Amino acid sequence: MKQCTHADELPHPEPEPLSDTCLECQAAGTHPIQVRLCLTCGHVGCCDSSPGRHATEHYKDSGHPIMRTFEPGEAWRWCFVDHVLV
């Protein structure tokens, strides 16, 4: 099983969210199903079940490896590079 090293390199404390919803969706007029927070820069983007998939787009554009859920009551993180929960 692959070991994720990206979590060790994340900033502490985690970055302030840049917004409270997916701004790309807001601009495009689409609606996020759920949103994710980038733990490198605080970008908020929508999940892969949303039409825009902007969290994944953000990873492709920025290379920022790890996001966490931005949904109330949930607490998990996902590494885009290793495809594992961290």
State how far the alpha carbon of 27 is from the alpha carbons of 20, 22, 30, 35, 45, in Å. 14, 9, 8, 15, 12
Among 36, 37, 64, 78, binds Zn ion (CB under 5 A): 64
CB of 61 to Zn ion, least distance (A): 9
In sign, the C-alpha dihedral spanning 19, 78, 29, 71 is negative
Residues 10-49 that bind Zn ion (CB under 5 A): 22, 24-25, 32, 38, 40-41, 43, 46
77 makes contact with Zn ion (CB under 5 A): no
Cα-only R_g, the chain: 12
> Is 10 or 79 the residue whose CB approaches Zn ion more closely?
79
Half-sphere exposure of 38 (CA within 13 A, CB side): 22
> Contact residues for Zn ion (CB under 5 A)?
4, 6, 22, 24-25, 32, 38, 40-41, 43, 46, 52, 54, 62, 64, 79, 81-82
